[in-house]
Structure 1
Amino acid sequence: MNLRFLETFVWVARLKSFRLTAEKLFSTQASISSRIAALEDELGTRLFLRDSKGVSLTPEGQKVLEYAERMIDTMQALKQSISDTGNIQGRIRVGAMDTVIHTWLSPFVTRVMERYPAVEIELTADTARNLNEQLLKGYLDIVFQTDMVNGDSVRNLELAAFPVRWIVPTGSLYHRSYASMEELARERIITFSKNSRPHQDILNLLHAGSVSAPRINCVNSIAAMTRLVRDGFGIGALPPALVHDELKQGLLTILDEVPEPPPLPVVATWRTGVGLELSEDIIALACEALDVYAEEMGEACMARVAPAPEQQSA
């Protein structure tokens, strides 16, 4: 039995789409359909139902899927047992929110490149919501964002949390004492994109402080948000890690008199299953990079949450 056809079958079952499977396997829809047809002929049964809603497994297809995953897992284990990480090839598609990109993404990618020099890393930057949608659709293998994601063959691990503080330009009109959240909210507040996790947390904090109509400016770019804060456009609600140098130089100041916003979590979410065994090792490398980053930056900038998962043998 052709293992490539079995792998194709598993991916169609997982993604519920011939088109997405073709993109994942660098093939064409016609080729994917041909492989499935050949597999159905060999097994003497229909594996998928196709209708206007998409693709779904037949009862026979569900039985075949269980065996197919075991066979491919066995083959992957065999390949890993006789190879080293330097010879592993393929592509890993990683998505990250802006905060990760501006902090610890580079040392993480460096570790991956050193461990797996023959693996291509494809990076995508976007909001947490968009990253999660792309993961569930099969366009990404791993995402680093703020929320737990529910889905078939999806795992989550909360890695760390960025403290979020009220930050202002030193010596500016915003650099003063505030008696309450209501007084602070009379000023313009600059934070993350609308309906993001930190934006919702800020709204909840202000609501708890009896603030009904805050002046919140949502910005979907870390670079733009930090620049606006530095230029005195308003009070920033953002992680100190993003402006670490400016705080160290005394250009920006953290306001300590008012309640702190909730921390911004960093969650790793990845797809599991046949053909995705590398993801577990990549997550472990992310944990290693975070450990080093957290130690260098200190608890004021980063708090680690989870230990690294056990790495698979390679």
Structure 2
Amino acid sequence: MNLKFLETFVWVARLKSFRLTAEKLFSTQASISSRIAALEDELGVRLFLRDSKGVSLTPEGHKVLEYAERMIDTMQALKQSVSDAGNIQGRIRIGAMDTVIHTWLSPFVTRIMERYPAVEIELTADTARNLCDQLHKGYLDIILQTDMVNGDSVRNLELASFPVQWIVPTGSLYHRGYASMNELAKERIITFSKNSRPHQDILNLLHAGNVSAPRISCVNSVAAMTRLVRDGFGIGALPAALVSEELKQGVLTILDDVPQPSPLGIVATWRTGAGLELSEDIIALACEVLSAYGEQMGEAMVVLTIPAVGHGTD
């Protein structure tokens, strides 16, 4: 039995789409259909039903899927038993939100390259909502963002939280005491993109403070948001880790006399199953790198929710 055809079958079953499977496997829809047809002829059963809603497994297809995943798992285990990490090839597609990109993404990617020099790394920067959508569609293998994701063959791991604070230019007109949230909200607030988790948390905090009509500027770029704060366009509601150097230099200051916004959580979400063992290893590296980053920055900047791990370079 052709293992490539079995792998194709498994991906069609996961993605519920011949088109997405063709993109995933760098093939064409015609080739994917041909492989499935050949597998159906060999097994003597129909594996998929196609209708206007998409592709679904037949009862026989569900039985075959269980065995197909076992066979691919066995083959992957065999390959790993006779090779080391430096010889592992393939591609890992990682999606990350801006906060990750501007904090610990670089050491993370460096660690992957050291551990798996032959693996191609494809990076996507986007909002949490879009990253979740791309993971569901099979365009990404791992995403680093704010929300837990539900779905078949999907796992989540809470990695850390970044304390979000009110940040202003030192010595500016915003750098003063505020008697209440209502008084602070009279100034322009600069924060993350509209309807993002941080934006919703800010709205909830202001609502709890009986603020009815705040002036909030939602910005979908961390670089743009931090620049606006540095240049004095308003009070920033953002993780202090994003401007740690400016805080050290005294260019920016944290306002600590008013209630702080909720921390920004970081969740790793990835696809699991046959042929996706590399993702599990990459997640382990993410925990390792973030643990080291958290120790370096301190709990005022990063609060780890993963167990402490070693930071060796095996």
TM-score category by the smaller chain?
Answer: over 0.9
Paired AA for residue 288 in structure 2:
E
Distance across 2 between alignment mates of 1:235 and 1:102: 20
Identity %: 86
Give the aligned partner of residue 293 of structure 1.
Answer: 293
Give the aligned partner of residue 163 of structure 1.
Answer: 163
Give the aligned partner of residue 18 of structure 1.
Answer: 18
User: How far is 1:307 from its partner?
Assistant: 2.5
Distance across 2 between alignment mates of 1:308 and 1:118: 28
Aligned positions, number = 311
| CA-based RMSD | 1.3
Give the aligned partner of residue 36 of structure 2.
Answer: 36
1:54 is aligned to 2:54: yes
Secondary structure of the 2:78 match is: helix
1:123 is aligned to 2:123: yes
User: How far is 1:52 from its partner?
Assistant: 1.4
Distance across 2 between alignment mates of 1:203 and 1:158: 23
Distance across 2 between alignment mates of 1:305 and 1:113: 25
Paired AA for residue 58 in structure 1:
T
1:237 is aligned to 2:237: yes
Secondary structure of the 1:122 match is: strand
Paired AA for residue 17 in structure 1:
S
Conserved 8 A contact 2:291-2:308: no
Secondary structure of the 1:106 match is: helix
Distance across 1 between alignment mates of 2:153 and 2:136: 10
Give the aligned partner of residue 27 of structure 2.
Answer: 27
Where does structure 1 differ by over 6 angstroms across 4 or more consecutive aligned residues?
A: none
Conserved 8 A contact 1:283-1:308: no
Paired AA for residue 6 in structure 2:
L
What does residue range 60-99 of structure 1 map to in structure 2 within 5 Å?
Answer: 60-99=60-99
Give the aligned partner of residue 107 of structure 2.
Answer: 107
Distance across 2 between alignment mates of 1:224 and 1:129: 20
Paired AA for residue 277 in structure 2:
E
Paired AA for residue 74 in structure 1:
T
User: How far is 1:233 from its partner?
Assistant: 0.2
| 1:106-137 per-position Cα deviation (integer Å, ceiling 9, x unaligned) | 00000000000000000000000000000001
Distance across 1 between alignment mates of 2:300 and 2:215: 27
1:307 is aligned to 2:307: yes
Distance across 1 between alignment mates of 2:249 and 2:61: 63
Structure 1 residue ranges without an equivalent (≥5) = 310-314
Conserved 8 A contact 2:191-2:218: yes
Change (3 A) 1:157 1:308: farther
Give the aligned partner of residue 2 of structure 2.
Answer: 2
Paired AA for residue 91 in structure 1:
R
- In the superposition, the TM-score normalised over structure 1's length comes to 0.98
User: How far is 1:274 from its partner?
Assistant: 1.3
Secondary structure of the 2:33 match is: helix
Secondary structure of the 1:270 match is: strand
1:137 is aligned to 2:137: yes
Secondary structure of the 2:214 match is: coil
Change (3 A) 1:26 1:163: same
User: How far is 1:308 from its partner?
Assistant: 7.2
Give the aligned partner of residue 267 of structure 1.
Answer: 267
Give the aligned partner of residue 196 of structure 2.
Answer: 196
Distance across 1 between alignment mates of 2:99 and 2:197: 12
Conserved 8 A contact 1:168-1:255: yes
Distance across 1 between alignment mates of 2:26 and 2:253: 50
| 1:245-284 per-position Cα deviation (integer Å, ceiling 9, x unaligned) | 1111101000010001000000000000111110010001
Give the aligned partner of residue 175 of structure 1.
Answer: 175
Distance across 1 between alignment mates of 2:48 and 2:170: 64
| 1:63-103 per-position Cα deviation (integer Å, ceiling 9, x unaligned) | 10011111111111111111100110000000000000000
Give the aligned partner of residue 312 of structure 2.
Answer: none
Secondary structure of the 1:281 match is: helix
| 1:23-71 per-position Cα deviation (integer Å, ceiling 9, x unaligned) | 1111111110000000000000100001111110001111100111111
Structure 2 residue ranges without an equivalent (≥5) = 310-314
Secondary structure of the 1:236 match is: strand
Distance across 2 between alignment mates of 1:181 and 1:272: 44
| 1:208-228 per-position Cα deviation (integer Å, ceiling 9, x unaligned) | 111111111100000000000
